[in-house]
Amino acid sequence: MEITVCRSGDVALLDRSMGSPGATSFHARRFARQEAGECTYLVAWLDGRPVGHAELRWVGCAAPEVTLDCPEIGGLAVWPEALRSRGIGSELIRAAEELVRERGLTTVGIGAGKDNPRATALYARLGYRPVTDYLDRYSYEDHDGTTRECVDACVFLASPLASWVTGHDLVVDGGVSARPTW
């Protein structure tokens, strides 16, 4: 398996292999954010085909409930389902964490749907701990042109990549932002 930063030519292949639910390509939107410097869009490849992706959002989580100022791993997916639980998601997370370290940052977050205990368990195994609950809001244009608004109940988890000490307050911009539960 290989993990690369998404290239413009990868978007159409991603759409064919792991399509979006509506008329608007999630992959094209993520790639556009990457081109704007807001994120790095990672793609996992197996035998020359895309089998997973993750978006490392440098601008952090957009939800107002999340006050921790750190990059956020989002859009993590492995497809087809038969390839899950084989380490692809873990490797995407590790690749994102390495990019965070390369920028000299020490904290990274990730959101998990409250209805996805499997993802939450994976993130816990990788050292992520709950910080706060939040509502993930997003929209997409359906094939009939209707804009679909979605709201998912989630938990924001964070991982100390270098300098957090278990049980201490997280300090952001000189003020206490959140108290981890570990």
For each of the chain's 182 residues, which pLDDT tens digit applies? 999 999 999 999 999 998 777 777 889 999 999 999 999 999 999 999 999 999 999 999 999 999 999 999 999 999 999 999 999 999 999 999 999 999 999 999 999 999 999 999 999 999 999 999 999 998 888 888 899 999 999 999 999 985 433 333 333 333 333 433 33
pLDDT at 175: 37
- Distance (Å, whole) CA 8 – CA 127: 33
pLDDT at 21: 73
The CATH class of the 2-178 domain is: alpha beta
Domain boundaries, the chain: 2-178
pLDDT at 22: 74
Question: Considering only CA atoms, which of 5, 13, 12 is closest in space to residue 34?
Answer: 5
- Distance (Å, whole) CA 94 – CA 65: 26
> From the DSSP assignment, how many helices (H) and strands (E) are in the chain?
4, 9
